[in-house]
Amino acid sequence: MRSRSAIVTIVVAVVVVLAAIGGAYVLRTKSASSASSPPNTPQPPPSAASVCHAEPCSVVATAAIGTTRIDLYAEAGGHSGRLKIGDEVVIDVTITDRGAALTGNSLQCVPGSLQACLVRGEDPAGGTVGEVMVGRSGKWQTTETPYYSDAGYLALADINNDTTAEVIVAQKGYYAQVFTLDGTDKGCTRPVNRLNLLPGWPTVKPSPAQLHEPC
């Protein structure tokens, strides 16, 4: 009987020792695995060189829609540029192909059911050339419709109060022409003698009742 009890005691002791060895091995394996795994470090924001086509290049204008930062990058002289929206979306600016120069006043962005950014620049003749990018749910695209103001005023404004902006283009004469974001002509205001007599000046915003068609 004593012999059998001794055997049981020895077996239990062996099991305990083996369990301890196994536990130590698992702990060592986990520690080694943790040590070999690289830490999760945040990625640095893209450099100007990764956004622009050529150097030197810098941010000339910045806007925001909610928590999304929007940067307008321009190369030397402002004759070439790209729009960076958030961390991933980059869109080529095309108005520079029409001679427009990008400056600190070249970017306007507005929130809405359809978000919009207007990129504008002065051309050699003294007018203002512009293009619109639109976005929804993080997806952005250019509308590919150029706008031109010979009076030098081009902006976004929600004239219908429906959370979607329109493009306001002032022309000499002087009147304001209104387009939807897809480029549809919504009409013009009646001519006035001076630019500063346009509705809402200096932020031109005619009401729908002030528009007539055709221009």
**119 within a domain of the structure (yes/no):** yes
User: What is residue 33's predicted lDDT score, i.e. its pLDDT?
Assistant: 45
- In this structure, the answer to whether residues 1 and 67 fall within a common structural domain is no
Distances in Å between the alpha carbon of 18 and those of 13, 26, 28, 30?
9, 12, 15, 18
- In this structure, the answer to whether residues 131 and 53 fall within a common structural domain is yes
pTM (2 d.p.)? 0.77
- In this structure, the answer to whether residues 28 and 53 fall within a common structural domain is no
User: What is residue 72's predicted lDDT score, i.e. its pLDDT?
Assistant: 98
CA angle centred on 15, ends 10 and 16, rounded to 5°? 95
Distances in Å between the alpha carbon of 171 and those of 14, 92, 143?
95, 27, 21
- In this structure, the answer to whether residues 183 and 115 fall within a common structural domain is yes
What is the total count of domains within the chain? 2
Q: Which domain covers residue 24, as residue numbers? A: 1-32
Burial class (CB in 10 A: 0-12, 13-18, 19+), 212: exposed
Give the alpha-carbon dihedral of 149, 155, 159, 163, to 10 degrees.
140
Per-residue pLDDT of the chain (215 residues; tens, 9 = 90+): 444 444 444 434 433 434 444 444 443 444 444 444 455 555 445 555 568 877 788 999 999 999 999 999 999 889 899 999 999 999 999 999 999 999 999 999 999 999 999 999 999 999 999 999 999 999 999 998 999 999 999 999 999 999 999 999 999 999 999 999 999 999 999 999 999 999 999 999 999 999 998 78
- In this structure, the answer to whether residues 155 and 122 fall within a common structural domain is yes
Which pair of structure tokens corresponds to residue 82?
Answer: 């790209």
- In this structure, the answer to whether residues 18 and 122 fall within a common structural domain is no
Single-letter code of the amino acid located at 161: N
User: What is residue 63's predicted lDDT score, i.e. its pLDDT?
Assistant: 99
- In this structure, the answer to whether residues 21 and 63 fall within a common structural domain is no
- In this structure, the answer to whether residues 152 and 202 fall within a common structural domain is yes
**175 within a domain of the structure (yes/no):** yes
- In this structure, the answer to whether residues 205 and 99 fall within a common structural domain is yes
- In this structure, the answer to whether residues 110 and 166 fall within a common structural domain is yes
Residue 36, number of CB atoms within 10 A of its CB: 7
